[in-house]
Amino acid sequence: MREAIKQARKAEGKEEIPVGAVVALNGKIIAKAHNKKEKTKNSLNHAEILAMNKACKKLGQKYLDGCEVYVTLEPCAMCAGAMLNYRIKRLYFGAWEPKTGCAGSLYNLLTDKRFNHRVEVAGGILEEECALMLKNFFAQRRKKERS
């Protein structure tokens, strides 16, 4: 999770929403990324999606069987759906996202038995640090908008 936080800090430094993600296989990081929605003007460029795409490219395959994802914020429906399609083994996330989170807050897409794959989920990892980074980012953004 510490590396995911480093990625989130990179995003923050680029005025992106500070979310970072890491993909690991057998305890070794194989891909990492941070949000790039603002830079690319593409709403699909969430940290999780970018990291999983990199991991597939590195492994030379379309599935990420046995891989774990670490992300600083609970994934949205798009990212949770991608994790199902990539066949991620386990998700670890930091801050809960009550408005859009689909790994336990708003809904838990990842453990829904109606899908042919399920992802083990552990949330609230370094939660306070992850949540504070987001809270401070949005407070600064609001302050700039008022100026």
- For the question of residue 48 being annotated catalytic, the response is yes
CB 13 within 8 A of CB 28: no
Contacts 24+ apart (CB under 8 A), 11-18: 11/35, 11/36, 11/47, 12/133, 12/137, 14/38, 14/39, 17/134, 17/137, 18/72, 18/133, 18/134, 18/137
Q: Which of 12, 16, 48, 74 is catalytic?
A: 48
Can you list the alpha helix ranges (DSSP code H) found in the chain?
Answer: 2-13, 37-40, 47-59, 77-86, 127-146
Angle, to 10 degrees, between the axis of helix 2-13 and the axis of helix 127-146? 10
123: tokens are 């949330």
Q: Which of the residues are catalytic?
A: 48
